[in-house]
Amino acid sequence: MVLKLVVDTCVWLDLAKDYRDQPVISALEDLVRAGRIELIVPEIVLEEFLRNKDRVFEETQRRIQSHIRLVREAVNRFRDDDGEKAMALKALNEVDHRIVASDEAVNTASIERIEKLLRSARSVAATGAIKQLVTERAIAKKAPYYRDKNSVGDAIIIEIYSKCASTARRNAQFAFVTHNWKDFSESNGDRRKPHGDLAPLFDSPDSTYWVSMVDLIKTIDTDVLEGYGSEFNYSQQSRRLSEIMEAEHLLYRKIWYNRHRNQRIKIERGIRHVVAEDEYSRAPYSPEQISEGVWTMALAAAKRTEDEVGLENLGPWDDFEWGMLNGKLSALRWVLGDEWDFLDT
């Protein structure tokens, strides 16, 4: 059975950025050529790709030059042999010059191959009916409109996917692939699953949601990437600092909220008491008391956490889950520079 595939613009742009993703592009070309995948391309995806391809080229060029600059600095600093240092610097300068003078190092071939795939695929325009659905989605603040950003393009893509999947003949298989998990995936949940507003689109086994093109391809043909793997050296990409900090802050809020709920229980049971500011004992510290001002701020922070993170993501957890949460927070804080087992909230 042919898989009808709708791919978000961000996936194509990410594939174009790194030469190590050429095997993925090759696999897609082979699967399309073999009739195992049919690409469905919303017109806006092609427009966005064409509009951003020059930016991708320039960013890739700058990134490679930045790496070369760091290597050059390391050679200057740590290499003692003047002859070997001169040879290494000469080679690096030659590579740097080739990047500036030509486009081969930036791999425009990937951009050209992706553009060819997009232009040769079935194209779908945003009709008046689709634009109306996009407007209704925006008014209702449904994903991808639940965040404070312009999500018109994302909404058009998902509405086109919805239309194609809902009007297809029976037994047709569809898949949607995106790297934009912040707008399309579960809010503060498993990014491999669609946002609750979009979940009905993927209730059927004939309609699936993916945040990894590689994972999708492997479900179609487990061997299709093997033939290309030896040609390139794949390496796991590190998380961006912003991703690490975002994950650490979410874990912090979850753990803080759990401790706050325990404080509420102690107060309700009379184990701990909320007292007026003039009655609160600060020296020595009394674990049986909490001041009214501090407790008022804690209640407000708890309400903000419930609204922003969602009660469904705030426990309760069993002992194993609680240990995992604390272990994750400790690990991320260590990466960010704290000592191991620093779990203060």
Residues 121 and 148 in one domain: yes
Q: Is residue 236 domain-resident?
A: no
> Helix, strand, coil % (nearest 5) of the chain?
60, 10, 30
- In terms of phi and psi (left: phi > 0; alpha: psi -120 to 50; beta: otherwise), the region of 149 is beta
Domain boundary residue, one of 180, 195, 229: 229
Q: Is residue 340 domain-resident?
A: no
Residues 166 and 270 in one domain: no
Neighbours of 143 (CB within 10 A): 22
Residues 69 and 113 in one domain: yes
**Cα–Cα nearest to 158, from 116, 118, 124, 114:** 124
Residues 211 and 313 in one domain: no
Domain boundary residue, one of 229, 262, 291: 229
Q: State the pLDDT confidence band at 285, using cuts at 50, 70 and 90.
A: low
% of the chain at pLDDT higher than 70: 87
Contact at 8 Å (CB) between 224 and 31?
Answer: yes
Residues 8 and 105 in one domain: yes
Q: Could you give the CA distance from residue 217 to residue 289 in angstroms, rounded to a whole number?
A: 58
Q: Is residue 344 domain-resident?
A: no
In the block, which residue shows the tokens 């390391």? Answer: 74
Residues 103 and 222 in one domain: yes
Q: Could you give the CA distance from residue 155 to residue 160 in angstroms, rounded to a whole number?
A: 9
| Domain with 78 in it | 3-229
Q: Is residue 96 domain-resident?
A: yes
Q: Is residue 343 domain-resident?
A: no
Domain boundary residue, one of 208, 229, 250: 229
170 backbone dihedrals φ, ψ, rounded to 5°: -65, 150
Q: Could you give the CA distance from residue 334 to residue 80 in angstroms, rounded to a whole number?
A: 34
The packing angle between helices 9-17 and 108-120, to 10°, is: 150
Residues 267 and 130 in one domain: no
286 backbone dihedrals φ, ψ, rounded to 5°: -110, 115
Instruction: Tell me the pLDDT tens digit for each residue of 81-102.
Output: 667 777 777 776 766 655 554 4
Q: Is residue 345 domain-resident?
A: no
Residue 80 makes CB contacts below 8 A (sequence gap 6+) with none
Residues 224 and 245 in one domain: no
Q: State the pLDDT confidence band at 254, using cuts at 50, 70 and 90.
A: very high
Residues 160 and 72 in one domain: yes
Q: Is residue 125 domain-resident?
A: yes
Q: Could you give the CA distance from residue 97 to residue 78 in angstroms, rounded to a whole number?
A: 23
Instruction: Tell me the pLDDT tens digit for each residue of 124-134.
Output: 999 999 999 99
The packing angle between helices 128-139 and 152-167, to 10°, is: 120
Residues 20 and 66 in one domain: yes
Instruction: Tell me the pLDDT tens digit for each residue of 155-194.
Output: 999 999 999 998 877 778 999 999 999 899 988 778 899 9
Q: Is residue 176 domain-resident?
A: yes
Residues 45 and 131 in one domain: yes
Tokens of 211: 């945040």
Total count of domains within the chain: 2
Residues 219 and 181 in one domain: yes
Tokens of 291: 């001041």
pTM: 0.60
7 forms beta bridges with 177
